[in-house]
Amino acid sequence: MRKLDEIVREFYIERLHASQTDNRFPMFIQIAISGLRDLNMDAKSIIKEVELTVNANDTVNLPNDYIDYLVIGVVDSGIISALGANNNLAPRSYDSCGNLNGAPGYNGDENTFFSYNSSHFTKDGQFNGRAYGAGGGGSANGTYKVYKNDGYIALSGASASTIVMRYLANLSQVDGSFMVDEYYVEALKDWMYWKYVQNQRSYGLGDKQLAQATYFREKKKAMKRQYRFSIIEFVEAYQSGYRSAPGI
């Protein structure tokens, strides 16, 4: 891991051939932060894992820095057991004070796709299937649907008081002391150089296109390095799919 301001100082020496920083340093810090955001969207390098409380209305509040989730589940014997995604969970209504209501009850609320007193649902309101084009994503731990714009996760049939979410986080709190994964240091420098030459009249179109291509090539290489299989992982993956056949 490397500090962001150290990477920018190295950029001054390697790309600008400057022995020390100047009044452009804050600008390059901001350019580097925008580069981190771009890398994060593709490489998913800023991953958080949090335990979130389930509200009384069977919803969970999304973190302020949430972008997208990787895993939503509950902890069972030290292992995260995933909940099932169910795109047919309808959005929650709001009461007169602007608070989210609980899941619709047994009265066949119009916010549901089916009445809860039909055979398609358990007594807890969990969808059982048996209807063409509806349901899916069943799980013994319950199901969910994320309403990102409204800032919550709707749950159905989940009995746990907390859930665990592994998610892609927004880089909302970044400064020069932010630690950058070593895999992405060179790609970040290439991003800074590309954005720098873009606004310089002294560089031609060919130079700018080359800088852009170099960044994308370095980003792709960094992602391959980060997610490559080790020999041990390869053997474990191979053995996990191996099944002996009966003798003939």
159 in Cβ contact with 63 (< 8 Å): no
126 in Cβ contact with 156 (< 8 Å): yes
Mean pLDDT over 86-109 rounds to 75
CA distances from 15 to 7, 21, 223 (A): 11, 12, 23
Asked whether residue 150 carries a pLDDT value surpassing 70, the answer given is yes
Greater pLDDT, 79 or 232: 79
Confidence of residue 47 (pLDDT cuts 50, 70, 90): confident
At 211 the pLDDT is 97
Phi and psi, residue 55, nearest 5°: -70, 165
3-state helix, strand, coil in the chain (%, to 5): 30, 20, 45
- Which of 64-68, 136-140, 240-244 has the lowest average pLDDT? 240-244
CA distances from 213 to 44, 219, 243 (A): 21, 10, 45
At 190 the pLDDT is 97
CA 135 to chain centre: 24
Tell me how far apart the alpha carbons of residues 118 and 34 are, in angstroms, rounded to a whole number.
Answer: 51
Average pLDDT, the chain: 80
Token match 């084009």: residue? 133
Phi and psi, residue 191, nearest 5°: -60, -45
Q: What is the CA radius of gyration of the chain?
A: 25
Mean pLDDT over 22-37 rounds to 94
At 198 the pLDDT is 95
Mean pLDDT over 138-147 rounds to 84
At 80 the pLDDT is 87
CA 86 to chain centre: 18
At 236 the pLDDT is 55
**Residue 117 is inside which H or E element, if any?**
none
